[in-house]
Amino acid sequence: MIMQALQGLAFLHEHKIAHRDADKSNFVVDYHPESMRTMTVAVSRPRVYIIDFEVSVAFPEELPLESCLCVGLPAGGTISEWARPVPPEVTSGKPHSPFKVDVWQFGSSFTGLWTYRTTIPAIDDILISLVNDDVAHRPDANEALSLFRGVVNKMAPNDLLIPPYVEERGMRRKY
């Protein structure tokens, strides 16, 4: 599902659309897409959808990527009013790439207050790379997607059927 979410972000970014609130809470999952119609459990994988585009920005497709810049918080106001973790480039007050901010926000929603661990170290390392404070060393959505695919494609499907661990302020729980 993380790969699907990154695929959605990469698609948006390919079309010069930045979500600007790419927290995992704005990615919803349809676990059984055909279940209501057929009244059976679907055999297809869950589908991930991106919602809440109220602070998104769309740039003209012909605009060079390095010219697609934003300043400040997506909805204006102050950091305390934003109610989500804020990437360092946003607080600088300087123009920044909203696409790299999307990646940071997505990664932060997994590695912030609730520390999500997949128990697959290579995937955990990718999630951590998404919140690199150095924008130049933070992958974009397409690069992150490629990294995930590289790890997952080398694994047997059954090896992915493991519950993740979540830590909240030192408490570790298995889901």
What pLDDT digit, counting tens, does each position of 17-43 carry?
A: 999 999 999 999 876 655 556 655 556
Q: How many Å from the N-terminal Cα to the C-terminal Cα in the chain? A: 15
Run of H or E including 48:
strand 47-50
- Distance separating alpha carbons of residues 128 and 17, to the nearest angstrom: 24
In this prediction, residue 18 carries a pLDDT of 98
Q: Quick one: tokens of 12?
A: 């948006």
Q: Tally Cβ neighbours within 10 Å of residue 74.
A: 21
Handedness of CA 116, 119, 123, 124 (dihedral sign): positive
Note the pTM of the prediction, 2 decimals.
Answer: 0.85
What is the reported pLDDT for 175? 46
pLDDT value of position 156: 85
Within its chain, how far is the Cα of 39 from the centroid?
32
- By residue range, what is the domain housing residue 138? 2-58+67-174
| pLDDT at residue 5 tops 80 | yes
Distance of alpha carbon 70 from alpha carbon 18, whole angstroms: 10
Rg of the chain over all Cα atoms, to the nearest angstrom? 17
What average pLDDT does the structure give for the chain? 86
Model pLDDT for residues 58-76, shown as the tens digit of each residue: 999 999 999 999 999 988 7
Provide the domain count of the chain: 1
CA distance 173 to 175: 6
What confidence tens digit (pLDDT) does each residue in 92-148 have?
989 999 999 999 999 999 887 556 777 788 998 999 999 999 999 999 999 999 999
What pLDDT was estimated at residue 89? 95
- pLDDT above 90 for 84: no
Long-range CB contact pairs, 154-161, < 8 A, 24+: 155/120, 160/120
CATH of the domain at 152: 1.10.510.10
Residues paired with 165 in a beta bridge: 117, 174
